[in-house]
Structure 1
Amino acid sequence: MIRSLYIRVVLTFLVSVIAGTVISFFVSTWIFEDKLNENAQINLRNFGQDVVQIYKTLPLREAESFVSGMKQLDSYYIRMYDATGQFQSYGKLNGHKSAAVSKEQLKKVLDGGVVQTTPNGIATVLLGLPIKTEMGTKAMFLETLAPPSASFVVKFGLIFASCSLIAGSLLILVASVYLVRPIKKLTKATKRIAAGDFNVKLNIKQTTEIGTLARSFEEMMHDLKQLEQMRREFVTNVSHEVQSPLTSISGYAQALKQVNLGEHERNRYLDIIISEAKRMSKMSDNLLKLSMLESQSQQPRLAILSLDEQIRRVIVALQPQWSARKIHFELDLESVKVKADHDQLNQVWTNILSNGIKFSEDDGVIHVSMEQDAQYVTVRISDSGIGIPIEDQKRIFERFFKADRSHSRKYDGSGMGLAIVKQIVSLHQGGIRVESEPDQGATFIVTLPIRPLTDS
């Protein structure tokens, strides 16, 4: 099995050139065969008429002597038949096989007719002419021995085929180097990427299919580089998020071993351990949800629902959180029905409203409004909290990212809530964005299609 692409290209070209040359030669011969035979017939007929004229003009012996000395006999072979079938030949065959003359052809010529055939293919002609002499009528048969035109064509064809094969082979040997070179670059780049090195430059400027492949490869390499960076950040963030509760659990568990520890302190330590364990469990659950959403293994179960009623129910469910801090809600909701997954959208409003409550000041106000057009409904949720810095707004929907880092200990959370929200909204073919300025609150704007395109 030939594995080298270079050898494959060369062998393919050589086979193609040889086969093409042979086919072209036979096709050309077949096309020009009639023309060559016609030329041979004309030349032979003219020569035969000259011989007939000689026998008419000169006595028989002088004519025979004159014909036997003609230089054209190098290319022609003459046979003179009498009535008995005996013949006298002029010229040498030089290894050629003379054409057979049948009795019918001989009788026809002796009777004054003319015979003309092509017995041996291209440019070989047998011509029979009657000659009247003082000894009676004779039948003269002439045939070509080495047709100049056919010989030239064959020689030319062989030389052309040889030169074509040699020149083509040399050119393909050179061209194959340039053809295979970018593929070798791609192979080396693939090995480097497999080893974890994503800083590879191909420098392939071709506009052919190879160039398209190289550009697609560079795009893939860029995506893999980003994916690897995200993977490393993910591992780092998970390690960081897990390490914090594990450290707390380990520390307070060690503290529980103290013999003289009071009942009140013991219960407080246990409550902290339980709280940290719940935090880890919630983070694990969020990771699982996000993974399922990103892999789209859990497709939305679409159903008609009243969006304004759903948001009101979420606000009521969150009452213990906002009533304890005396936060007020201002609602501007019109009746809108959409086709969506009830549970997934419920999680969207719960996460956004919980963040609004968490980051708002006491006695703050959260404004929720909704408007729709023919195809989309837009929900705006604005809080009066600490806001989000402009440089963090681009990353607010990344997993584990916490915009308010200076208050990360004050505000509990794993930083995955908004990542889940964005993924759910995307699965519903919608969009989400944030508008915010520091210390002036934040507004989350969610746009959803009333009927997703996947709805049939």
Structure 2
Amino acid sequence: MIKSLYTRVVLIFLVSVIGGTVIAFFVATWVFKDKLNENLHVALSNFGQDFVRVYETIPPSEADSFVSGMKQLDSYHVRIFDKTGQFQSYGTLQGHHIANVTMEQVNKVLRGEVVRVNTDGISSILLGLPLKTEMGTKAMFVEPLAPSSSTFLVKWIWSFVTYSLVTGSLLILAASMFLIRPIKRLTYATRRIAAGDFNVKLNIKQSGELGTLARSFEEMIHDLQQLEQMRREFVSNVSHEVQSPLTSISGYAIALKQVDIAPAERGRYLDIIIAEAERMSKMSDSLLKLSLLESQSQQMRLVTLRLDEQIRRVIVAIQPQWSARNIRFELNLRPVTLTADHDQLNQVWTNLLGNSIKFSTDGGTIIVSVKQDNKNVTVRISDTGIGISPEDQKRIFDRFFKADRAHSRKYDGSGMGLAIVKQIVSLHRGDIRVESELGQGASFIVTLPITTPIE
């Protein structure tokens, strides 16, 4: 089995061209056979008729002398038969083979018929014409000594075809190398990518299908490079987030083995171990939830709901968080009905409102507004907290990212909440963005379609 694409291209070209040329030649010969015969007989017939007119015009003795000096006899051989089968020849054979003439053919000509003998299907090699003289009717047979025009035409066509195939084959060999070169580059690049090397430059400047394939391949390399970077960051972040509680649990567990530890101190150590274990459990649950959302393994359960009522219920449910810090809410919730997954949206508002409470100062204000147009509804949640820097705003929705690293212990969390929020909003074909300045609070704007399309 031929595996090389280069060899396949060349062989397909050769088979196609050779097969097509041979078929076209025989089809054309078959279609124009009669026309070729008619055209190729003209020269031989004209010479024979001229020869006959010579004998019909001048006396036989003078005619013999005249025809013996004709230059056309260098190309034709003439035989004149009588009734007994005896003949007289004109023209020098010079090693040429002449055709046999039978008495049946001679008798046909003597009866006034014209005889044509064809041997190769196209060209005529023998022509018999009646010749009337003073001594009675004789049979004259003319045949060409030089190759006929039809034979020359066939040889010329075959030579042309042969040279064309040879030249075309050399050209297709060079063209195939030019066509296959980008594919070889793609194959080499694929092997490097499979080995983990994403610093691959194709340098393919062609247009058309190969150029499009090369552009798509380069985009794929870029996406894979980003994916690999994200994978490394994810592993690093998970290791960092897991290592911290594990260290605390291990340290306090070792401390509990001491015999002389006070009961109050022992209880505090146990509370820390339990808190760190719960932190790891929440992080694991968040990772699982985000994984299900990204893979869309968890089907959305779409229902028609009142968005303003849902947000009010979430605010009431988290009242212990904001009332203990004297945080005040300003609500501008216009009645809005939309189609969405109730539980997933509930998690969005819980996370965003929880973050606003967490990063607001005591006695601060959180403003929640809902607006609607013909197709979309916009929810804006603004606080008067510490704000987010422009650099952090670019990565605020990345998993494990914590905007305020310096106060990470003060503001507890795994950095997974906003990543989950963004994924839920994306599944609803919506958009989420942040507007913030350091020390001036932050606003999260969520835009959702009134009706979420089902795929």
TM-score using structure 1 length: 0.90
8 Å CA contact retained: 1:300, 1:428: no
Q: Check if 1:418 corresponds to 2:418.
A: yes
8 Å CA contact retained: 2:131, 2:138: yes
Q: Which letter does structure 1 place at the counterpart of 2:454?
A: T
Cα distance in 2 between the residues matched to 1:87 and 1:37:
30
Identity of matched residues, %: 70
Q: Check if 1:360 corresponds to 2:360.
A: yes
Larger deviation, residues 110-119 vs 159-168? 110-119
Q: Which letter does structure 2 place at the counterpart of 1:251?
A: G
Q: Which letter does structure 1 place at the counterpart of 2:250?
A: S
Q: Deviations over 1:119-145 (max 9, x none)?
A: 632232654432222332233343446
Deviation at 1:278, TM superposition (A): 0.9
Instruction: Tell me which residue corresponds to 2:281.
Output: 281
Q: Which letter does structure 1 place at the counterpart of 2:290?
A: L
Instruction: Tell me which residue corresponds to 1:345.
Output: 345
Cα distance in 1 between the residues matched to 2:361 and 2:104:
124
8 Å CA contact retained: 1:40, 1:125: no
- Aligned pairs (5 A) from 1:67-82: 72-73=72-73, 75-82=75-82
Instruction: Tell me which residue corresponds to 1:203.
Output: 203
Q: Check if 1:389 corresponds to 2:389.
A: yes
Instruction: Tell me which residue corresponds to 1:268.
Output: 268
Query: Measured at CA, do residues 114 and 246 of structure 1 come closer, stay the same or move farther in structure 2, by a change above 3 Å?
Result: same
Tell me the secondary structure at the aligned position of residue 361 of structure 1.
coil
Query: Measured at CA, do residues 40 and 145 of structure 1 come closer, stay the same or move farther in structure 2, by a change above 3 Å?
Result: farther
Tell me the secondary structure at the aligned position of residue 331 of structure 2.
strand
Tell me the secondary structure at the aligned position of residue 200 of structure 1.
coil
8 Å CA contact retained: 2:129, 2:141: yes
Cα distance in 2 between the residues matched to 1:71 and 1:444:
108
8 Å CA contact retained: 1:77, 1:89: no
Larger deviation, residues 384-393 vs 114-123? 114-123
Cα distance in 1 between the residues matched to 2:454 and 2:125:
80
Larger deviation, residues 294-303 vs 335-344? 294-303
Cα distance in 1 between the residues matched to 2:293 and 2:410:
29
Query: Measured at CA, do residues 360 and 51 of structure 1 come closer, stay the same or move farther in structure 2, by a change above 3 Å?
Result: same
Cα distance in 1 between the residues matched to 2:98 and 2:229:
83
8 Å CA contact retained: 1:358, 1:411: yes
Tell me the secondary structure at the aligned position of residue 201 of structure 1.
coil
Cα distance in 1 between the residues matched to 2:438 and 2:98:
107
Q: Which letter does structure 1 place at the counterpart of 2:87?
A: Q
Aligned-residue Cα RMSD (Å) equals: 2.7
Query: Measured at CA, do residues 400 and 98 of structure 1 come closer, stay the same or move farther in structure 2, by a change above 3 Å?
Result: farther
Query: Measured at CA, do residues 119 and 382 of structure 1 come closer, stay the same or move farther in structure 2, by a change above 3 Å?
Result: same
Instruction: Tell me which residue corresponds to 2:451.
Output: 451
Larger deviation, residues 337-346 vs 154-163? 154-163
Q: Deviations over 1:86-106 (max 9, x none)?
A: 363746593465587867x95
- Aligned pairs (5 A) from 1:227-238: 227-238=227-238
Deviation at 1:186, TM superposition (A): 1.6
Query: Measured at CA, do residues 97 and 400 of structure 1 come closer, stay the same or move farther in structure 2, by a change above 3 Å?
Result: farther
8 Å CA contact retained: 1:339, 1:452: yes
Larger deviation, residues 320-329 vs 238-247? 320-329
Cα distance in 1 between the residues matched to 2:323 and 2:410:
19
Query: Measured at CA, do residues 261 and 95 of structure 1 come closer, stay the same or move farther in structure 2, by a change above 3 Å?
Result: farther
Deviation at 1:163, TM superposition (A): 2.2
Deviation at 1:75, TM superposition (A): 4.3
- Aligned pairs (5 A) from 1:288-303: 288-303=288-303
Q: Deviations over 1:22-69 (max 9, x none)?
A: 345445545664554333222122111122123224555665676577
Structure 2 residue runs without a partner (length 5+): none
TM-score using structure 2 length: 0.91
Q: 1:94 aligns with which of 96, 99, 102?
A: 96
Q: Deviations over 1:250-284 (max 9, x none)?
A: 01111110111121111111111111111111111
Query: Measured at CA, do residues 89 and 368 of structure 1 come closer, stay the same or move farther in structure 2, by a change above 3 Å?
Result: farther
Deviation at 1:171, TM superposition (A): 2.3
Cα distance in 1 between the residues matched to 2:192 and 2:210:
19
Cα distance in 2 between the residues matched to 1:163 and 1:27:
21
Query: Measured at CA, do residues 96 and 364 of structure 1 come closer, stay the same or move farther in structure 2, by a change above 3 Å?
Result: farther
Instruction: Tell me which residue corresponds to 1:219.
Output: 219
Query: Measured at CA, do residues 396 and 35 of structure 1 come closer, stay the same or move farther in structure 2, by a change above 3 Å?
Result: same
Q: Deviations over 1:302-333 (max 9, x none)?
A: 11111111111111111121111121211111
Q: Which letter does structure 2 place at the counterpart of 1:172?
A: I
8 Å CA contact retained: 2:99, 2:126: no
Deviation at 1:151, TM superposition (A): 2.9
Cα distance in 2 between the residues matched to 1:399 and 1:33:
81
Q: Which letter does structure 1 place at the counterpart of 2:207?
A: T
